[in-house]
A = this chain, B = another copy of it.
Amino acid sequence: VNARSMKPGPLPERPVIAVVGAGAVGGYYGLRLARAGFEVRFLLRGDYEAVVSNGWRVRSVAGDFDMPPGSTRVFRDPSAIGRADLVVVTLKATANEDLGRLVGPLVGEGTAILTLQNGLGSEETLAEQFGAERVMGGLAFVCINRTAPGVIEHLSHGLVKLGDFVGGDTPRARQVSGWFRAAGIECEVLKSVAEGRWEKLVWNIPFNGLGALLDAPTDRLVGCDAGLRLVRGLMDEVVRIAASAGVSLPPDLPEFHIRRTVKMGAYQTSMQIDRRMGRPLEIEAILGRPLKIAQINSIDAPLLGMLYDLLSIVNIGKDIRVP
């Protein structure tokens, strides 16, 4: 198989789906697909032993469910999984240097690779290694935490938006979207993955970034003038950077995001939780790459630059304290 040459055609009707990085997001969507009868194979690392012994427990606003030990196919070694028709990548973006090693063994002739990771750059990294035609990009709009190995707490939302990296709304994107919907997951097809990513970044940059910096859930950020000023200032910068990258976002997007966030209550973003848990922060994917684009396109983004530098120091400090 030449991993770099592939025509994006329809995937099989009964696909093998592999989930690489089955934390909160990968675990949740993968388990929903498995419960709907899809053949799903999970690649786990740190949580492997616990899931083999205890299975999964999902506490979800869409209905709790447990998956007992042995009811799902879990793997520790990617080469034991075999070829997949669809690889769903939900690794932390900080682990992207492992993408080739973890995804490579799963890629066969017609394999598509869908990244649901945060931030910018994952499609590009996958495209470099496996060819752009294989790559699909998606966004998970979901409040979800992995509270212990194999234990997932799904607090609200759940929408997935996905599309082909090249072409956006393609027959393949509609096919994969249909599988998600068949599994009870709200799913839309994106006309442009890039547009979807920037739209989400307008939310992620302030709420993940400030949330991690201040150890503050969303309600503290939208609950005071200082927080709203910071959120709006950052959102405005991201909208301008997106425009410089050719992505024109709706002018009312920042206020739409803010209204939606007020309704979410006290949500702790993944980056806030990562900071609390002493894990590396997804700074480069969520803030660093947009900032780099601002610099290349000469867009003034002082708040994003400052947030990036502040979080870099937080990250250094944590690495020192938690080796």
Q: Which residues of A contact B (CB under 8 A)?
A: 210, 213-214, 216, 220-221, 224, 226-227, 229-230, 233, 302-303, 305-310, 312-314, 316-317
Closest beta carbon of chain B to A315's beta carbon, Å: 9
Q: Tell me whether B226 and A317 are in contact (CB under 8 A).
A: no
Among A220, A227, A313, residue most surrounded by chain B Cβ atoms (within 10 Å): A313
Q: Tell me whether B312 and A226 are in contact (CB under 8 A).
A: yes
Q: Tell me whether B303 and A213 are in contact (CB under 8 A).
A: no
A229 contact set on B, CB distance < 8 A: 305, 309
The CA-CA distance from A259 to B302 in the complex, in Å, is 25
Q: Tell me whether A312 and B224 are in contact (CB under 8 A).
A: yes
Q: Tell me whether A313 and B216 are in contact (CB under 8 A).
A: yes
| Partner among B210, B216, B227, B309 whose Cβ is within 8 Å of the Cβ of A230 | B309
The CA-CA distance from A316 to B225 in the complex, in Å, is 11
Q: Tell me whether B316 and A230 are in contact (CB under 8 A).
A: no
Name 14 extra pairs, CB < 8 A, besides A213-B310, A227-B309, A306-B307: A214-B313, A214-B317, A224-B313, A224-B316, A226-B308, A226-B312, A226-B313, A226-B316, A227-B313, A230-B306, A230-B309, A302-B302, A302-B306, A306-B306
The CA-CA distance from A210 to B309 in the complex, in Å, is 11
The CA-CA distance from A303 to B306 in the complex, in Å, is 7
Q: Lowest 8 CB-CB distances: which A-B pairs, in order?
A: A226-B309, A302-B302, A226-B312, A230-B309, A226-B313, A306-B306, A303-B306, A229-B309
A312 contact set on B, CB distance < 8 A: 224, 226
Q: Tell me whether B303 and A220 are in contact (CB under 8 A).
A: no
A305 contact set on B, CB distance < 8 A: 229
| Partner among B214, B307, B310, B313 whose Cβ is within 8 Å of the Cβ of A314 | B214
Closest to A224 in B: B316
A317 contact set on B, CB distance < 8 A: 214, 216, 220
Q: Tell me whether B233 and A306 are in contact (CB under 8 A).
A: yes
Closest beta carbon of chain B to A240's beta carbon, Å: 14
Known: A214-B317, A224-B316, A317-B216. A230 touches B310 (CB 8 A): yes
The CA-CA distance from A227 to B312 in the complex, in Å, is 9
Closest to A312 in B: B226
A303 contact set on B, CB distance < 8 A: 302, 306
A214 contact set on B, CB distance < 8 A: 310, 313-314, 317
A310 contact set on B, CB distance < 8 A: 210, 213-214, 226, 230
Closest beta carbon of chain B to A118's beta carbon, Å: 21
The CA-CA distance from A214 to B309 in the complex, in Å, is 11
A230 contact set on B, CB distance < 8 A: 306, 309-310, 313
